[in-house]
């Protein structure tokens, strides 16, 4: 069977969570952080290696809180996303503090990836189904001989991904009759209102989001060669956006660009698990209750990693 890796993006600043390192918040009943559940579920699904993308300044805390314990159960590696890690000829504009985005983060693992891989956010709880879906696709269906990038995405129902404590941003997926993705519409400030679920597009237009709409939670299955495309395209993106303080080189947006150019085909794998995460500080108590319930139901053992 093919080897597979899991890449966990944990270098974000987490500003909406209150300024702390939200990826390292201890939320499980045994002091687990959310990404430990992702690693546990990935191991159960059959993944062989995990690569954590972090900032160098949090490495000591990261290893102490999660890395040293998890590495006893699966091969662990680290990659580092830094603002100054840019192609020749580019520099960080004065005043920029925000990371360059998820596509830039993935470029940092290029030298460590030698197999198909899945990528997820560190601060999202995905549930077990998505890891199984992605692993099965990567090992049984992924066709790297195609003249385009063969990609898969675990697609969540938008109603299963909302926060009661504020609006969220999601990539709303448009699919064709064959179940493949035809477009990802970045939609902002999505929230449930009295008469439905609504958000806005980048131009400010208010839109209704169907309750059964599929959204991206940055849970993709990708081939090794896809990273070469991100690396090649990054300088062109910087030429347009490199002087801005908040623009991000985003994975969903880059996949959409390739898809519209006929250079990628994305299979949508419907995932019915409920997502939860700590977008806002107020989400913390709800996540803790949900995790306690999953342990009590026997979905997870008393301790994930002894």
Ordered by where they begin, the domains of the chain are 5-296 (3.90.550.10)
Give residue 19's pLDDT. Answer: 46
> Which residues face 267 on adjacent strands?
152, 180
Q: Which range is least confidently modeled, 89-93, 99-103, 105-109, 302-306?
A: 302-306
With contact defined as beta carbons under 8 Å apart, do 249 and 239 qualify? no
Q: Which helix (H) or strand (E) holds 77?
A: strand 75-80
Residues 6+ apart with CB under 8 A from 298: none
Distances (CA, A) of 46 to 50, 132, 288: 11, 8, 27
With contact defined as beta carbons under 8 Å apart, do 269 and 155 qualify? yes
Chain mean position to CA 83: 19
Nearest-10 crossing angle of helices 226-241, 251-260:
100
Predicted confidence (pLDDT) per residue in 169-224, tens digit: 998 999 988 889 998 888 999 999 999 999 999 899 999 999 889 999 999 999 99
Tokens for 226?
């896809």
The pTM of this model reads 0.91
56 pLDDT more than 70: yes
6 pLDDT more than 70: yes
Phi-psi region of 201 (alpha: psi -120 to 50; beta: other; left: phi over 0): beta
């Amino acid at each position: 069977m093919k080897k597979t890796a899991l890449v966990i993006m944990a270098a974000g600043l987490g500003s909406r969570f209150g300024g702390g390192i939200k990826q390292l918040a201890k939320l499980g009943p045994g002091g687990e952080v959310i990404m430990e559940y992702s690693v546990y579920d990935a191991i159960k699904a059959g993944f062989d290696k995990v690569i954590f993308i972090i900032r160098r300044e949090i490495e000591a805390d990261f290893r102490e809180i999660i890395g040293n314990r998890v590495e006893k159960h699966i091969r662990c590696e680290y990659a580092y996303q830094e603002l100054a890690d840019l192609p020749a000829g580019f520099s960080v504009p004065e005043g920029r503090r925000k990371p360059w985005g998820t596509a830039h983060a993935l470029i940092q693992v290029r030298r460590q990836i030698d197999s198909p891989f899945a990528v997820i956010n560190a601060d999202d709880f995905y549930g077990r189904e998505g890891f199984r879906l992605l692993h099965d696709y990567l090992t049984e269906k992924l066709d790297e001989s195609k003249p385009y990038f063969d990609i898969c995405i675990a697609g969540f129902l938008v109603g299963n991904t909302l926060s009661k404590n504020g609006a969220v941003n999601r990539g709303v997926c448009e699919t064709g009759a064959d179940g493949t993705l035809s477009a990802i519409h970045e939609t902002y400030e999505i929230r449930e209102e009295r008469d439905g679920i609504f958000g806005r597009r980048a131009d400010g237009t208010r839109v209704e989001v169907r309750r059964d709409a599929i959204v991206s939670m940055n849970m993709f299955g990708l081939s090794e060669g896809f990273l070469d495309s991100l690396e090649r395209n990054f300088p062109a993106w910087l030429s347009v956006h490199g002087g801005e303080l908040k623009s991000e080189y985003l994975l969903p947006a880059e996949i959409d660009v390739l898809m519209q150019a006929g250079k990628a085909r994305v299979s949508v794998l419907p995932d019915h698990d409920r997502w939860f995460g700590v977008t806002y500080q107020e989400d913390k108590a709800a996540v803790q209750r949900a995790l306690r319930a999953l342990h009590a139901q026997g979905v997870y053992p008393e301790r994930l990693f002894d």
